[in-house]
Amino acid sequence: MTGDSKSQTSRVVRWLKFNAVGAIGICVQLGVLAFLRSALGLNYLLATGLAVEAAVLHNFLWHERFTWADRPAADRLGRLLKFNLATGAFSIAGNILFTKLLVDAGLAYLPANALSIALCSIINFFLNDRLVFVVSRVRVLRGIGCASD
C-alpha cells in the first residue's frame, strides 16, 4: 500500500469513527432535547442549545479516546475549550439557526433538529481534524529526532 492510499484509508476510517461517535451523539442530543422540551417545558430553541452542548461534551470524550486516539493532547482542557469554541459554537449556532428555519417552514422540532445535525456534521469533521485534534508540534519533532523525551 502506498503512502497516499494508506493516508486515504486512514481518513476514511477516521470519518467512519467520527460518524459512529456522532450517531451516538445524535441520540444524546435528541434525547436531551425531548426531555428538556417535554418534561421541563423549555422553549425549543433554548432546549436545542442545551442539548447540543450535552452532545458536544459526549462527542469530545469519545473523539479523544476513539476517533483521534492517535493524536493525544498535552493539554486536554485546552483541547476541550478549542473543541467547544470551534465545533461547539458552530453546532449550537448552526443547530439553532437551522432548527428555527425548518420549524418556521412547518417541520416539527425533533425532525427539524435531526436535519440540522446532518447539515452541521460535515463542517464539524473538518474543524475537528484540522483545528482541534491536530498532531502536536512536539510529537512531530520527536518523530524526526529533534526533541528530547
Q: What pLDDT digit, counting tens, does each position of 80-105 carry?
A: 999 998 888 888 899 899 999 999 99
The pLDDT-based confidence of 117 (bands split at 50, 70, 90) is confident
What per-residue confidence (pLDDT) applies to 11? Answer: 86
Radius of gyration of the chain (CA): 18
- Mean pLDDT for the stretch of residues 55-63: 96
Cα 59 from chain centroid (whole Å): 6
* Position 13 pLDDT exceeds 80: yes
Name residues whose C-beta falls within 8 Å of residue 36's C-beta, 6 or more positions apart in sequence.
42, 46, 47, 50, 51
Q: What is the value of pTM for the model shown?
A: 0.76
Name residues whose C-beta falls within 8 Å of residue 60's C-beta, 6 or more positions apart in sequence.
80, 83, 84
Instruction: Please indicate, yes or no, if residue 149 is contained in any of the structural domains.
Output: no
Q: Buried b / exposed e across 35-48, counting CB within 10 Å, b at 16+?
A: ebbeeeebebeebb
* Host domain of residue 109: 3-143
Instruction: Please indicate, yes or no, if residue 148 is contained in any of the structural domains.
Output: no
The pLDDT-based confidence of 148 (bands split at 50, 70, 90) is very low
**Spatial distance between the Cα atoms of 89 and 82, rounded to a whole number of angstroms:** 10
* Position 116 pLDDT exceeds 50: yes
116 φ, ψ (degrees, to nearest 5): -65, -40
What are the distances in angstroms from CA 21 to CA 39, 52, 60, 66, 121?
26, 14, 9, 8, 11
Q: Which H/E stretch holds residue 101?
A: helix 89-104
Q: How many domains does one find in the chain?
A: 1
